[in-house]
Chain A
Amino acid sequence: MHAPVDPSPGGAAPHPFAKPKTHRETYEFLIRQVLRAGTYSVLLAVGLIFAHIIIKGVPVVFTTKAPFINTNFLTKLPETLHVIEDKQGKIYETSPQGSDVIKKELGGNMRSEKTISYSGGGILGPIVGTALLVLVCMVVALFLGIASAIYLSEYASHGKFIEGVRLAILNLAGVPSVVFGLFGLGIFVLSAPVLTDTPHERSLFSIPLGFTYMSFQGWDTCVLSGAFTLAFVILPVIITASEECLRAVPQGFRETSLALGATRWQTIWRTVLPFAMPGILTSSILGIARAAGETAPIMFTAALAFKDKLPWQGDSGFFGIFTQSVQALPYHIYTIAARIPQSEYSERAQYGSVFVFLVLVLMFAITSVLLRRKLRAKYQW
């Protein structure tokens, strides 16, 4: 990178014999300020957006009384909000169950009742759903991504195959996320293999295994489908980041290891990966942020607008957590921002969810940036 050649030409203290500024200099100064204004206005726009969300979101998530956090909002499932007004103009906000009680109490004194879908309760369901999706997605993406990166940096030599892989990575990175959604729908939801005794009629084909069938009928909309789709969305990011970290390990380490008689695999496992792994993981956190933020890929593969149970509150056991659809934060935001009529009550739920979502995603991103900076300083060869 160029160090600025001449950081401040006009910065010296003015002295009485200074030449007056020429037109050229004024012009240059102006151009420079225009460029600077352009740069800072982008940051300003983003800053304003953040400020807006924080100003509107903080009152929803935090309270003025101890414990200062609106625990209901973070620990309850979304539900329909009932707003009841009595004849004295007093307004009650309550859950569907609470509304019956209040209505009975008020009797003839009730003036009006409004219901606002999804805007009551909290957002625990969407948070848990997003966490599950991201968890599974990271396992899949890291496994595939690191393995591909090891091949690219440790094994591959020049050739058609390697060129093909690089081209594929490049193109995958450019595929619109909604097309990944279609891909996930077609492959994971509708035709991935499952073990079942009774193949579904939409099954592409089923292979008898003796005791059961392996049927290519798909996993339906569930956490697994969504997480696998997300994994392929962020795969290019993970591969590129991992390869960069692997290549940053000095060649001398490998040569030393090989010279001592270690095999290729031993070299990778014992000398390359231990040094590359921290870097790989931190750069991948940025992938997490991306995966958590994507909406389009999970729209048809995993997300559900409303669900009144947490994933583990079913009776389908541990594996059942991953084979059911869940609510997800980005999809929840889309639902309450665009698919229900707007009112002051839905606005509160919107800003609260957006604030929490942004905080979660940015926490990942900041961690990644800070850790990466620290690691770079630590591993200097």
Chain B
Amino acid sequence: MPNEPKASSDPGASDLIKPPRFMGLRIDRQQVIRAFFSVSAAVTIVTLFLIMWTLVTEGPFRLQKKLGFLPVPTLKGGFLDTYRWELGVYRKAGLEFCDHVKKPLTEHETIFSRLKRAVGAELNTVSKVSRDRRDAAILAKTHVEERAALQREALQEALDKTGPATPPEKIEELRKAVREATARKVAAEVLPPLFTDAEKQKLQEDLRGLQPDQEDFPPFIQELMAESAKQDGLAREKFAAFVTAVDEFEVAADPIIEVHDAMKELALATKELAVQQHMSEDAVAQLLAAAAIAKTPEEKAAFEKDAAQTDTTAIDFKGRIEPLLAKRADYEKLIPAYLATVKKVMADMPSKPLTGEARTLLAKARKDLPEHIKTVEASLHHMSGWKWDKPIPLMQSLSAFLFGGDWITNSSWQDFYGMVPLLTGSLVISLTALLIALPFSIAAAIYVNQFATLREQEIIKPLIEFIQAIPSVVLGFIGISVVGDLIKSTSDVAWLQWIPGFPVAERLNMFNAGCLLALMAIPTMFSLAEDAINNVPRAFSEASEALGATKIQTVFKVIVPAATSGILAAMLLGLGRIIGETMVVLLVAGNRIAIPDFSDGIGTVFQPAHTLTGIIAQELGEVSRGSPHWQALFMVGIVLFAISLFINWASRLVVRKFQLPKI
């Protein structure tokens, strides 16, 4: 609280004539107090302005000192400028050229891994049982060995001991200890029902005899291994055509990879030179600036001498790009053979796969392979049309940020700051959370306001509002420790496999984050929706009931429609809260920076993702001020800020647009 100004003494006649004074000045004291409070109120506006100022001067603009002291935001040195420079080097050094080759290679990799999985699924039809038996036996062996590790280690040490050998009795004693411990563990080990009772006994017998100095697998496990190898051979024979075709497909890319690697080396060398030259240019600029404000002529001369000595010769991009361009011919030569292999794979894929997994994988491959051929042909086209000296306009770095599909940082190849993966992650998580939170919060709002008894109301309302007080980091922790495992174990249940996306691969995924964010949004949405329902004039429901409508009819046909604007606003503000939430998504969303693969339909929500808020929290602490990465994170901040302003604006618009007539 501000100090209380001296209370005015009795307002004598003189006070009425003299103008009021404050601290000896001719100012009305009341005016001063008023001004103080209005300045305080203005702090909110100033804060909003300062938020924008910070985001803008650390993001797209950069403060440069004008006239020696006045900091003025300029585009030079801002994100757009630095990112454009990076993209320029990416092009001039030929990295972009190499990436034209890389694109088909990446595609090749994904298609190959799918085909490999399909091959595996097909082979499994023959060899799965024997392999599972082998794996189970080996697993049991490892378990037993791990659990008897203490005794085993003691024996091993005694055996390995150099110098005076351990007396045989001692060793025998240790061996006995190992045998006993092992036997105990074997008895505790539960073997899967893959084995018959006789086999189980045989295996247990083998396992009991385990000693640390025994190197070979026990005979029964060896038998299982031989059996598995035999079955695998049979399976490979059965699907020989498919297996060889896929193997050939894998090898077919090797010569292209070789060419690509050679190209990469050339390009990276040029890039390194360019970065060095840029750094020395910066150094010269700094030296010259230091020289300008140097105090003594000697210092000035020293700075200028240093500046003159720094090597800043421009790089001969044109000369260095020539050998890279020459590689195109090599690449072109390899293409026909490669395409022939691709077509062979397409022909040799089994038309009637035996397993469901192989069926879906092959269906995908059938769709992808023709696309792949097109990509390969397009890459040739791109390469022939590629120009190393095509300039990059400033706006291109902006669009590369807004619409770029890659967010790659600290890469040895090239950093990209495209926010699309982050934005899609944020949006998918928010929509999931909203879809979960909406029915619950509206049901709760309707129930509490219309059906609950007074006592229930008094308990439920504060409890739900209480959820707001749970810190987000605690909810995130719950997501890691409980909800993740819950989702994973639920998704492994056999009779739930019809749900798209099950079984889930990752414990931490967008759905997990969505559930917890829904819990965070429910209090906000509940309170606002409840207010909205509460504000519907009583006359509405009375009129409806007078016409003979039942309670439910009144609620759903009169009250809820009348409260639509408020409910929509509640939804929007809840959405704002969800999108802006940081800790839950940072902890729970899985933090994989990639655009989710939407081909899974609804199952997409079970993939991990990264978000706009999460990326700032995760990466800002590790980058140096003023680097393009730092600036890119502030650009992300601008996007978030804009989203929050937009949501606020939209919710006010909704409220105004659907306002009820005053009764």
Known contacts A175-B580, A295-B582; is-contact A165 B5 (Cβ 8 Å) = no
How close is A9's CB to chain B, nearest CB, in angstroms?
8
Q: Is the CB of B444 within 8 A of A333?
A: no
In which size bucket is the chain B interface? 35 or more
Is A252 in contact with chain B by the CB < 8 A criterion? no
Give the interface segment out of B246-254, B384-392, B448-456, B493-501: B448-456
A151-B37 contact given A178-B616, A183-B50, A361-B471, CB 8 Å threshold:
yes
A264/B440 contact (C-beta < 8 A), A42-B522, A49-B478 known: no
**Chain A residues with Cβ under 8 A from B435's Cβ?**
none
How extensive is the interface on chain A, given as a class?
35 or more
Known: A7-B453, A87-B150, A176-B580. A148 touches B474 (CB 8 A): no
Determine if A309 is an interface residue (Cβ-Cβ < 8 Å): no
B47, B449, B551: the one contacting A235 at CB < 8 Å is B47
Q: A28-B550, A205-B71 are in contact. Are A358 and B474 (CB under 8 A)?
A: yes
Report chain A residues within 8 Å CB of B439.
Answer: 38
Counting CB contacts under 8 A, is A181 at the interface?
yes
Segment at the B interface, from A60-68, A71-79, A185-193: A185-193
Q: Report whether B70 and A34 are in contact in the complex, using a CB–CB cutoff of 8 Å.
A: no
Least CB separation from B59: chain A residue: A182
**A148 contacts B41, CB within 8 Å?**
yes
Q: Do B580 and A38 touch across chains, with their CB atoms under 8 A apart?
A: no
Tell me the nearest residue of chain B to A30, going by C-beta.
B552
Nearest residue in B to A154 (C-beta to C-beta)? B37
Interface residues of B in 115-155 (CB under 8 A from A): 150, 153-154
* CA–CA, A264 and B29, complex, Å: 11
Query: Could you mark each residue 566-598 of chain B with 1 if its beta carbon is under 8 Å from any beta carbon of chain A, else 0?
Result: 000000010010011111001100000000000
Which residues in chain A, 1-34, are within 8 Å of chain B measured between CB atoms?
1-7, 9, 24, 27-28, 31-32, 34
Whole-angstrom CA separation of A169 from B44 in the bound complex: 6
Are B587 and A334 neighbours in the complex by a CB distance under 8 Å?
Answer: yes
Give the most central of B43, B469, B621, B634: most A CB within 10 Å.
B469
Chain A residue at minimum C-beta to C-beta distance from B641: A179
B576's nearest neighbour on chain A, judged by CB, is A174
Minimum distance in angstroms from A336 CB to a CB of chain B: 9
Q: Among the listed B71, B470, B471, which residue makes an inter-chain contact with A295, where contact means beta carbons less than 8 Å apart?
A: B471
Which residues between 156 and 196 of chain A lie within 8 Å of chain B, taking CB atoms?
156, 161-162, 164-165, 168-172, 174-183, 185-187, 190
State the main secondary structure of chain B at its contact with A: helix
Which of B71, B154, B453 meets A204, CB within 8 Å?
A: B71
Is B44 within 8 A of A292, CB to CB? no
B11 contacts chain A at the CB level, 8 A cutoff: yes
Interface: B538 (CB within 8 A): yes
In-complex Cβ contact of A338 among B447, B471, B545, B586 (8 A): B586
Cβ A35 vs Cβ B451 within 8 A: yes
Q: Is the CB of B30 within 8 A of A147?
A: no
Q: Are A87 and B154 interface neighbours, CB within 8 A?
A: yes
Q: Is B280 an interface residue (CB 8 A)?
A: no
> Which of A4, A87, A232, A300 lies in contact with B47, CB distance below 8 A?
A232
Cβ-defined contact, B55 with A361, below 8 A: no
Chain B, 24-61, CB within 8 A of any chain A CB: 29-30, 33-34, 36-38, 40-45, 47-48, 50-51, 53-55, 57-58
B40 touches A176 (CB 8 A): no
Q: B469 contacts which of A155, A235, A286, A337 (Cβ < 8 Å)?
A: A286
Q: Is B620 an interface residue (CB 8 A)?
A: yes
Count chain B CB atoms within 10 A of each CB in A28, A53, A182 and give the residue with the most.
A182
A357 CA to B472 CA, complexed, in Å: 12
| Across-interface contacts of B605 in A (CB, < 8 A) | none
A263 contacts chain B at the CB level, 8 A cutoff = yes
Determine if B477 and A171 form an interchain contact, defined as CB atoms under 8 angstroms apart. no
Please determine whether A369 and B38 come into contact, CB atoms closer than 8 angstroms. Answer: no
Contact of B472 among A38, A111, A295 (CB under 8 A): A295
Which one of A151, A176, A289, A369 contacts B581 once the chains associate, using CB atoms below 8 Å?
A176
Cα distance, A338 to B476, chains bound together (Å): 10
A52 within 8 A of B: yes
Query: CB within 8 A of A299: which of B50, B69, B454, B617?
Result: B617
Q: Is B428 in the interface zone, CB < 8 Å from A?
A: no
Task: Give a binary string over B53-81; 1 marks a CB under 8 Å from any A CB, 0 the rest.
Answer: 11101100001010001110000000000
Could you tell me the distance in whole angstroms from the C-beta of A214 to the nearest C-beta in chain B? 13
Give the residue name and chain of the B residue nearest to A86 (CB): B150
Q: Does A198 contact B (CB under 8 A)?
A: no
Is B644 on the interface with A (CB-CB < 8 A)? yes
Decide: A187 and B473 in contact? CB cutoff 8 A: no
Cβ–Cβ contact B579 & A176, under 8 A: yes
Docked Cα-Cα span, A186 to B54, in Å, equals: 6
> How far does the alpha carbon of A330 sit from the alpha carbon of B402 in the complex, in Å?
32
Contacts of B477 in A (CB 8 A): 333, 337, 350, 354
Interchain CB contact (< 8 A) of A293 among B452, B473, B586, B587: B473
B608 to chain A, nearest CB (A): 14
Within A339-373, which residues are at the interface with B (CB < 8 Å)? 347, 350, 354, 357-358, 361-362, 364-365, 369
**Which residues of chain A come closer than 8 Å to B41, judged between CB atoms?**
147-148, 151-152, 156, 162, 165
B480 within 8 A of A: yes
| Residue from A148, A265, A289 having most chain B Cβ neighbours under 10 A | A265
CB distance from A44 to the nearest CB of B (A): 11
CA distance A296 to B647 in the complex (A): 21
Cα-based distance from A34 to B8 in the complex (angstroms):
65
Chain A's nearest CB lies how many Å from the CB of B405? 23
Smallest distance from the beta carbon of A89 to chain B beta carbons, Å? 5
Chain A: minimal CB distance from B385 (Å): 41
Residues of B within 8 A of A (CB): 1-2, 4-5, 7-8, 11, 29-30, 33-34, 36-38, 40-45, 47-48, 50-51, 53-55, 57-58, 63, 65, 69-71, 150, 153-154, 439-441, 443-444, 446-454, 460, 462-464, 466-478, 480-482, 519, 522, 534, 538, 541, 545, 550-552, 573, 576, 579-583, 586-587, 613, 616-617, 620-621, 625, 633-634, 637, 640-641, 644-645, 647-648, 652
Query: When A and B form their complex, which 5 residue pairs have the shortest distance between CB atoms, in order from nearest?
Result: A176-B580, A293-B471, A186-B54, A38-B443, A147-B40
Selected A-B contacts with CB under 8 Å, 5 pairs = A87-B153, A174-B580, A176-B641, A186-B58, A204-B71
If A168-B44, A362-B470 are given as contacts, then 7 extra A-B residue pairs at C-beta distance below 8 Å, sorted by A number, are: A4-B452, A36-B447, A39-B460, A52-B478, A185-B54, A235-B43, A354-B477
